Structure 1
Amino acid sequence: MAKVVIKRADERYLPDICELEKLCFKTPWPVEVLYEDICVSHHLYYVILENDKVVGYAGMWLILDEAHINNICVHPSYRCRGYGKMLVHRLIRAAYKYGGDSITLEVRKSNLTALTLYKSLGFEEEGVRKGYYQDTGEDAIIMWKQGLQMENQWKGEEAD
């Protein structure tokens, strides 16, 4: 049975995160941006490891009482195992722990798997960003989950 662990991302995971970016996205985030987010600004990023191998990551910014999920990525060979859901769940718990009351994200209109996942976790569609994705000009669906501080399910759960 696979050993699955989620850990707070730091500099040692940066090469693995960059490889996942290249593998999963047409326009990967530059290493300098990821380094700044993870190592300098200390935004909240997590990696998911299966048998000590990084197979996914997720990150968010926390600004006052709002969290913004900026990226979620799971290696194609490790999808459909619930790892994306585990990562989003960890981000929600972290947002709660650090005082966030709402959490938002953008998702490609065509990414039906992700839309279904986010809706299952209580996110609601709130708007559209026309032509948001530069690589294709595709629209982004803006989703929000409100009232994190009112949900008892996050109390007592570890976030880091």
Structure 2
Amino acid sequence: MSQTLSFRYMEEKDLDEIVELEHKCFTVPWSRDAFFNELYQNQYATYFILEEEGKIIGYCGAWLVIDEAHITNIAILPEFRGRGLGEALLQKMIDKCREDHIERMTLEVRASNTVAQSLYKKLGFQDGAIRKKYYSDNQEDAIVMWVNIE
């Protein structure tokens, strides 16, 4: 990773840039209000951002509940993909979960998103189940993946 990359917790001042990133990465992007609620209403939510020279290029969010973590979102701007940044970001969240004594982590991924599935498998995730017609934009199935991180 470049020396100009840094991780930090998401803050309210980041929300406009995060929403812009959402629109570049997802067909059904989260709203600014959704992120605001994650930051200020959801006691279980933890969000990291990844910056390069002060510009937000990715983020990862999770709900940490008792001994399990559920990844809510992970995104890297399209022009920064293929550099191992998604892996670094997810590893940052896994490290935080280990610090918080989280034992397991789960996420959903589009059945067609083989690039993301490969990343998750590289970090030890395994297929757990299928959620039929999970994604509202095209009714695509989601693969539920799990990893023990203790």
What TM-score, normalized by structure 2, do the two folds share?
Answer: 0.94
Which position in structure 1 is the counterpart of 2:134?
132
Which position in structure 1 is the counterpart of 2:8?
7
Read off the aligned partner of 1:136 and give its amino acid letter.
N
1:22 Cα deviation from its structure 2 partner? 1.1
Relative to structure 2, which stretch is displaced further, 32-41 or 60-69? 32-41
Q: 1:117 aligns with which of 107, 116, 119?
A: 119
What is the CA–CA distance in structure 1 between the aligned matches of 2:134 and 2:11, rounded to whole Å?
29
Matches within 5 A, 1:28-107: 28-42=29-43, 43-107=45-109
1:137 Cα deviation from its structure 2 partner? 0.4
1:2 Cα deviation from its structure 2 partner? 5.6
Which position in structure 2 is the counterpart of 1:144?
146
Q: Is the 8 A contact 1:2 1:51 kept in 2?
A: no
Q: Is the 8 A contact 1:11 1:39 kept in 2?
A: no
What TM-score, normalized by structure 1, do the two folds share?
Answer: 0.89
What is the CA–CA distance in structure 2 between the aligned matches of 1:108 and 1:129, rounded to whole Å?
10
Q: How many pairs does the alignment contain?
A: 148
Aligned to 1:84, the other structure's residue is in SS state helix
What is the CA–CA distance in structure 2 between the aligned matches of 1:22 and 1:134, rounded to whole Å?
16
Aligned to 1:117, the other structure's residue is in SS state helix
User: Structure 1: any 5+ residue segments left out of the alignment?
Assistant: 150-160
Aligned to 1:145, the other structure's residue is in SS state strand
Q: CA RMSD in A?
A: 1.2
1:98 Cα deviation from its structure 2 partner? 1.2
Listed one character per residue, the Cα deviations across residues 54-79 of structure 1 (whole Å, up to 9, x for unaligned) are: 00111000111000001001101111
Relative to structure 2, which stretch is displaced further, 35-44 or 119-128? 35-44
Aligned to 2:23, the other structure's residue is in SS state helix
What is the CA–CA distance in structure 1 between the aligned matches of 2:3 and 2:133, rounded to whole Å?
40
User: Structure 2: any 5+ residue segments left out of the alignment?
Assistant: none
